Amino acid sequence: MALPELMVHGDRILHNVREVVRRCGAAGVDLWGVTKGLCGNPQVGRLFLEGGCTALADSRVRNLRGLREAGIRAPLYLIRIPMEQELEELVEVADGALVSMGETLEALEELCRSRGRTFRAVVMVDVGDLREGVLPEELESLGRRCAALRHVVVEGLGTNLGCFGGILATPENLTELLQGAERFREASGLEAPLVSGGATLSLKLLEEGTLPRGINHLRVGEALLLGTDSTGMRTIPYLNQETMEIRAQVVELRRKPSVPRGTVGVDAFGAVPSFEDRGNRRRAILALGKQDVRLEGLTPLESGVEILGGSSDHLVCDVEEVPALQLGDVLSFRPNYGAMLAAATSPYLDLRVL
């Protein structure tokens, strides 16, 4: 076992997937499992599919390639608006993508025509969060443009919420999406049956029974991986939150004053640290740092451990209340979404799925 590591409890993630799939199924909602939080880990992708997700989605073509090369045959979608230079690789490894520009749809059409294949697209509509998506008033003109597509199949429309503007999913903004989808269908003459009402954030409406009828699709990552809804600021009551932990080793254990001695400057990240004088305290230094994880996003799992701060490669904890702790011991921390993402991305952490 190499340390530090990100340890993932596969059975708990599978439980979360099944719970979300069951609730979605009862409402006629199809679910894509979003793997980007763990960098497209194929073992986790398989769990998503085993639990009932109908496709996998990721924000990076490289992660989609990894899923494909691991032997996953299910449909794969890119959920970040694609870059021009990655379109060729995209049509090679993926089955579809979220798209918001007519030019991109046409470039995909041309690529697919010359390769004699088809590619699926979900047109993104901005209903207020101001990240990706065409504005509702552009849907007629885009619809007319889409009528000419032969190799790109517009499967439907979708929206993204809670990301740039922090806008919550509501019956109102999702109804606006449904109306937009109707206008797009009329203008394009396409069926475009799928209406994708967002991500983890939209589960709240599903639970409350206020998800507008006609929303038949969601793209969910965080709820499956962590059982939480960061934007909605809640833990999801029917899901497991103990799905993963970051484990790091104690490399120094020593009693030291709680306030540094000398003239204070600025740390390497531009912050001026401040300290409370609690006298001499027992402190542990762990081999884990800002290069590996967002330290602010960690919650210690052993009681009595308190995070004091850290730097690029070191995490300093107060362990006065953990007298049994010894040099070489391993401490565990629960990551939030940001800490999970950083840990999964760091080449210095091993990702281990149990």
Ligand X SMILES: *Cc1c(COP(=O)(O)O)cnc(C)c1O
- Interface with ligand X (CB under 6 A): 34, 36, 59, 79, 98, 160, 199-200, 219-223
Of residues 228 and 289, the one with the C-beta less far from ligand X: 228
Cα 241 from chain centroid? Answer: 15
Asked if 304 contacts 318 with a C-beta cutoff of 8 angstroms, the reply is no
CB of 339 to ligand X, least distance (A): 14
Instruction: Read off the tokens for 30.
Output: 């199809």
Instruction: Read off the tokens for 293.
Output: 């994880």
Ramachandran category for residue 225: left, alpha or beta (phi over 0 → left; psi -120 to 50 → alpha): alpha
Q: In what helix (H) or strand (E) does residue 138 lie, and over which residues does it extend?
A: none
Catalytic one of 36, 204, 256, 290: 36
CB of 239 to ligand X, least distance (A): 12
Of residues 8 and 223, the one with the C-beta less far from ligand X: 223
> What does each C-alpha distance from 260 to 265, 274, 275, 324 come to in angstroms?
11, 9, 8, 26
Of residues 203 and 331, the one with the C-beta less far from ligand X: 203
Output the residue with the shortest Cβ distance to ligand X. Answer: 221
- CA atoms of 203 and 222, how far apart (whole Å): 11
Of residues 161 and 331, the one with the C-beta less far from ligand X: 161
Name the nearest CA neighbour of 294 among 306, 319, 273, 312.
Answer: 312
Of residues 4 and 297, the one with the C-beta less far from ligand X: 297
Of residues 200 and 346, the one with the C-beta less far from ligand X: 200
Token pair 């306030």: residue = 259
CB of 224 to ligand X, least distance (A): 8
CB of 165 to ligand X, least distance (A): 14
Of residues 41 and 160, the one with the C-beta less far from ligand X: 160
Residue 73 identity: R
CB of 81 to ligand X, least distance (A): 9
Query: With b meaning 16 or more CB within 10 Å and e meaning fewer, what string describes 137-161?
Result: ebbeebbebbeebebbbbbbbbbbb
CB of 159 to ligand X, least distance (A): 9
Q: In what helix (H) or strand (E) does residue 51 lie, and over which residues does it extend?
A: none
Residue 181 identity: A
Residues 6+ apart with CB under 8 A from 95: 55, 75, 76, 77, 119, 120
Residue 256 catalytic? no
CB of 308 to ligand X, least distance (A): 30
Orientation of helix 102-115 relative to helix 139-146, angle to 10°? 10
- Within the chain, where are the H helices? 10-26, 42-50, 61-69, 87-93, 102-115, 139-146, 171-188, 203-208, 222-226, 337-345
- CA atoms of 277 and 4, how far apart (whole Å): 30
Query: What amino acid positions are annotated as catalytic residues?
Result: 36
